Amino acid sequence: MKRVIYLLFFVVLFSSSCNTAVKEKKEKPNILFLLADDLGYGELGIYGQEVIQTPVLDGLAQNGMRFTDFYAGTSVCSPSRAILMTGKHAGHSTIRGNSGVFDDIWKRVPLRKDEITIGEMMQEAGYQTAFIGKWHLDNPNDVSTWARSRGFDYAVQEQWASRFGGREFDKRIHWINNLNDSMFYDQEKYDCIDVFRTNFALEYLDKKGKDQPFFLFMSYRIPHAHERYIRNKELYADKGWEETERRHAARITLLDEQVGRLLNRLDEMGELDNTVVFFTSDNGAHSEGKHDHLFFESTGGLKGYKRDLYEGGIRTPLICYWENKIEAGAKSNHIGAFYDFMPTLADIAGIETPAQSDGISILPELMGKEQPQHEYLYWELQLDGWNRIMPNGGFRQAVRLGKWKGVRYGINSPTEIYNLEEDINETVNLAGQNPGIVVKINKLFEEATIETPGFPYGGVIQDYRPAEKYGLEKDNL
């Protein structure tokens, strides 16, 4: 009898422990990460846009927190996304440009296998993970470098063509979990590619497990210039704009609608109140495909645009929402960057941040608590590659040190200094009046970067002409 009572007690205790474990899993918040492609600092209504309509994202900010001084990893997609995925700043990241040079051939550079991604980190934290959209951190011919193999249980990604031999891919094919039976994006059926992608996200939410929190990373394509075709012909048709500009504005409003579809579905499922939402962009506004970044004041009046390390190229919108956790309508001037997302997500998940990260969690700021500050922020970028030839390999560096911003285009060029508190548009170079600040920033330029294969320090590759060698066209960038 005593043995039976003991066994019954053990069963009850075990059952209680299991229920507690499931409850703890469910109590961890879901995380929805929304990344736009080339969306400028001034292209949302909540950030001052007066023409392009973005009611969903404006409402998200009005019910959450809007950051004014937050920055992308750098000013072009691949390296900026690598920084977000690994928590390393631009001087430590494996990827420093959209292409690197190996054996005299320019090619895409994947993340290293020994670098932990935020997907892998969240898997270890007990999250079911999903990635949908533009990955751009892989070798097209090696599926072990694709999103599905780098920490995402479910992955839908487009695959760009392999440029120099090997497999060739149609950019409209979306590979589902690396399988060949993937889906073709029929642009005649959808207003834009992000409607197609959001359909995958809604299906994922319907089918995901119920006993684990989810981490869903939506990597949108809007408003990137290469998404030229949209089926919608009505949005802003009454404005009399050039068609290029009408499509640009329409794409952003269509993106806003897709965010609304996701939030509505989460609300219907009863999951929105336990979901942390982040919305940001991979770099500043573009001026490509005949779109003029000045037409809608896409940078919010900031100097520079995509590929520049002036504010217009790297300062990005950041909206954070967490019902009953983040104060509605809050505005933060905390100075942060993409490499802060890894420690922030780790903090939310209740785990240790991987040692590789250079970031600082912004969760205290979101919760209205005392927020640790960066000593400085660092950016660099190599623009040479494929068909672009620039002085010093197009190597650029920037540092933000409190109110001071230093910019240097080429290691042999003079450093420019701006006081962002008084001159956010970087119009007056104060280097001559502040030699001490120049010395400090030049020292950071040297100390913050380490060498990495494929991206020579200083960006100098003598007499190299990849465009002439391979006859590549501009649209391949």
Residue 198 pLDDT class (50, 70, 90 cuts): very high
pLDDT at 7 over 50: no
Quick count: other Cβ atoms within 10 Å of Cβ 238?
Answer: 8
Q: What mean pLDDT do residues 237-252 have? A: 97
In 346-433, at which residue ranges do the beta strands (DSSP E only) sit? 377-382, 395-401, 404-409, 416-419
What pLDDT digit, counting tens, does each position of 86-119 carry?
999 999 999 999 988 877 778 889 999 999 999 9
Length of the chain: 477
Q: Which two tokens stand for residue 148?
A: 């599905």
Residue 467 pLDDT class (50, 70, 90 cuts): very low
pLDDT given at position 26 = 54
Q: Which two tokens stand for residue 203?
A: 């299906």
Average pLDDT over the chain, rounded to an integer: 89
Distance CA 157, CA 476 (A): 18
Residue 200 pLDDT class (50, 70, 90 cuts): very high
More confident residue, 297 or 8: 297
Residue 188 pLDDT class (50, 70, 90 cuts): confident
Q: CATH 3.40.720.10 in the chain, residues?
A: 28-375
For 378-476, give the CATH class.
Answer: alpha beta
Q: Which of 46-60, 149-163, 390-404, 414-428 has the lowest mean pLDDT?
A: 149-163
Q: In terms of C-beta density within 10 A (0-12 exposed, 13-18 middle, 19 or more buried), how is residue 244 classed?
A: middle
Distance CA 394, CA 391 (A): 6
Distance CA 118, CA 342 (A): 6
CA 299 → CA 18, 307, 312, 417, 422, distances in Å?
A: 51, 13, 5, 20, 18
pLDDT given at position 169 = 60
Topology of the domain covering 28-375: Alkaline Phosphatase, subunit A (3.40.720)
Distance CA 334, CA 312 (A): 18
Q: Which of 47-51, 66-70, 388-392 has the lowest mean pLDDT?
A: 388-392
More confident residue, 472 or 365: 365
pLDDT at 174 over 80: yes
pLDDT given at position 187 = 86
pLDDT given at position 10 = 35
More confident residue, 459 or 344: 344
Q: What is the helix (H) or strand (E) element at residue 207, kind and residue range?
A: helix 193-207
pLDDT at 459 over 90: no
Name the residue among 409, 388, 413 with its Cα closest to residue 101.
388
pLDDT given at position 387 = 58
Residue 13 pLDDT class (50, 70, 90 cuts): very low
Quick count: other Cβ atoms within 10 Å of Cβ 318?
Answer: 26
Q: Which of 325-334, 351-360, 467-476 has the lowest mean pLDDT?
A: 467-476
pLDDT given at position 126 = 98
pLDDT at 12 over 60: no
Residue 14 pLDDT class (50, 70, 90 cuts): very low
Chain centroid offset of residue 192 CA: 20
What pLDDT digit, counting tens, does each position of 245-264 carry?
999 999 999 999 999 999 99
pLDDT at 287 over 70: yes
Q: What mean pLDDT do residues 275-303 have? A: 97
pLDDT at 475 over 50: no
% residues pLDDT > 70 (the chain): 85
